[in-house]
Structure 1
Amino acid sequence: MLAQQRQEAILHRVRSAGGVRVTELAGEFGVSDMTIRRDLEALAERGLLAKVHGGATTTRPGSTDEPGFAAKSVRQRAEKSAVAAEAARLVTAGMAVALSAGTTTAELARRLAGVPALTVVTNSIPVAEILHRSGRPDQTVVLTGGVRTPSDALVGPVAVATIRSLHLDLVFLGVHGMSERAGFSTPNLLEAETNQALLAAADRLVVLADHTKWGTVGISSFAELTEAHTVVSDTGLPEPAREVLRASVTELLLCEVAA
């Protein structure tokens, strides 16, 4: 087993059980304690787990933890860029699409700035600003309005009312977390309602989620895994997660991440 494969398996174990012991992992994988410690160190340096005496535990945030847009924008930048580039291939001229709030959807907006005759509905202030700065006269940008969250999403009854009056070809949703048990989730109750409205307005749901989102659960689920037509992630996604998603969604797209 390659080191990367072993580390993915270790991370899946940590997220499933909440913690692991070095001696148990060494016996399971048939390697030395020192090798496992190096694996845990590598995962800890990426912020994926916390090392403790004799093992490691999850660093998963609380279900209501909601980092701001600036804080999220520095995490997994290479993965988000790759996911956004792959998602942009699904958009063609003349479509009406929605982009939810989030740093990955903001990356997608940068790649859609050159698509002609595009209509974009969004509840994201950064997404609207990115498309506005492109200055393309044949694009229409609809900003929903609503109450602003820490992640710069516009939510609440104003946003929902705007979205419910629209009909869209695709909706691209960034997610706080995804899991087999909770589906797609968010730490913000009002954002969950807004995401549900976006989902209902579109013919197809495309979820943008780098591999670190697997196993994270927000306080409010807004969709089952089976409600997504396409999930775009990266090749860091653990194999067990791939199996679950392939059994649940129509299409799973995995991107290679530039070194």
Structure 2
Amino acid sequence: MVRSHRQEQILALLGARGKAAISYLADEFEVSDETIRRDLKALSEAGSVEKFHGGVRLPLPRAEASFDRRLSENSAAKAAIATRAAQHIREGATLLLDNSTTACFFAEELTRREPMTILTISLEIVQILNAGGGQHRVILPGGEVRCSDRTVTGAGTISYLSSFSPSYFIMSVVAGTAGGCQDFDLFEVEFKRAMIACADETILMMDSSKFGKSGLIHVCDWSDVDVLVTDGAPTDIADQFEHGHQLLLTAKVGGGA
């Protein structure tokens, strides 16, 4: 759905408060209860909010979909975002990639680039890079393999990667609100926080379906993101990239969760 400016503001307010009464929203935006109800009906039908008696909240955190399912969801948008993000990478850089599905599309882009040094916790990404020609130097940390998404995990994994100083940290998250980036998995949150601190520049790749959703754990503020690459961002988030940060937009190529 294409959200109105007021609907984006409602989502931003809920991102800060978690939930709100319909009467409160009507007073806040100086419109009637019925107008707010129409806004909330559209947002609810799009899955952006959950209504309860007399009020509304962001969707309650749920378990993330399986890796293979996420890999196929919204794939056109993710591919376009990955292409745009790869254009931002300078020649000969050292890259650190997370284990997100969008990073897999980014890895596909790297198979057509000059040799680089690439660190990652994703066995899926290692396979993509090797199948694409193997021109890159690929560094994989030790740890326990989580078979569900082919990810290397563990405290030692984070400790090992923290000794590097990559040019770019390439990541994604499950949700973005006005208050920042959110995720579900404790290990991945700790990993991303540590890698943001290590990298010269953090690039967040995030398709527009993730804005207005909610995660379980706060990963970082928008001020921690140097470059946001997306096919569309709410105004309240896009405005945070006016000073000292970059917002790279791709064309809309389709919807998906």
Task: Give the TM-score of the pair, scaled to structure 1.
Answer: 0.76
Q: Against the structure 1 CA distance between its residues 207 and 194, is the aligned structure 2 distance closer, same or farther, given a 3 Å change threshold?
A: same
What does residue 188 of structure 2 align with? 191
1:254 corresponds to 2:252:
no
Change (3 A) 1:3 1:239: closer
Counterpart residue type for residue 250 of structure 2: C
Aligned counterpart, 1:172:
170
Conservation of the 8 A alpha-carbon contact between 1:214 and 1:241: no
Identify which of 223, 235, 241 aligns with 1:239. 235
Q: CA RMSD in A?
A: 3.5
Displacement of 1:70: 2.2
Judged with a 3 Å threshold, the aligned counterparts in structure 2 of structure 1 residues 55 and 218 are, in CA distance, closer, same or farther, namely closer
Residue 138 (structure 1) aligned with residue 139 (structure 2): no
Contact conserved, 1:87 with 1:108, CA < 8 A, in 2?
yes
Which sections of structure 2, spanning at least 5 residues, go unmatched? Answer: none
Q: CA deviation at 1:123?
A: 0.6
Could you list the runs of 5+ residues in structure 1 that have no partner in the other structure?
A: none
Shift of 1:213: 3.9
Rounded to whole Å, the distance in 2 between the matches of 1:238 and 1:44 is 17
User: Equivalents in 2 of 1:129, 1:152: separation in Å?
Assistant: 10
Aligned CA distance change for structure 1 residues 217 and 101 (closer, same or farther; 3 Å): same
- Show the counterpart of 2:226: 229
Q: CA deviation at 1:120?
A: 1.3
Q: Identity of aligned pairs, percent?
A: 24
* CA spacing shift, 1:130–1:253, aligned 2, 3 Å: same
The corresponding residue for 1:207 is 204
Moved more, 104-113 or 79-88: 79-88
1:156 aligned partner:
154
Q: Secondary structure at 1:145's aligned position in 2?
A: coil
Q: Which amino acid aligns with 1:138?
A: Q
Distance 1:44 1:113 in 2: 41
Distance 1:147 1:197 in 2: 18
TM-aligned CA deviation for residue 48 of structure 1: 2.6
Q: Which residue of 2 aligns with 1:47?
A: 47
Matched-pair contact (CA < 8 Å) for 1:78–1:258 = yes
TM-score using structure 2 length:
0.76
SS of equivalent to 2:200: strand
Any idea what the Cα deviations from partners look like across 1:11-69, whole Å, max 9, x if unmatched? Answer: 445555636759x77xx6989x69975x666645543334678986532425xx34331
Report if aligned partners of 1:179, 1:217 keep a CA contact under 8 Å in 2: no
Q: Is the 8 A contact 1:97 1:169 kept in 2?
A: yes
Higher-RCO chain (CA-CA 8 Å, sequence separation at least 6)? 2
Residue 113 of structure 1 and its aligned partner are, at CA, apart by 1.2
1:200-238, CA deviations, whole angstroms, 9 ceiling, x for partnerless residues? 3321111122232456343253x3332222122222x21
**d(CA) in 2 for partners of 1:191, 1:3:** 30
Task: Report the Cα offset of residue 164 of structure 1.
Answer: 2.6
Instruction: Report the equivalent of 1:105.
Output: 103
Closer/same/farther in 2, CA of residues 148 and 19 from structure 1, 3 Å limit: farther
Q: Which residue of 2 aligns with 1:82?
A: 80
Question: 3-state DSSP class of the match of 2:119?
Answer: strand
Q: 1:14 touches 1:20 (CA, 8 Å); kept in 2?
A: no
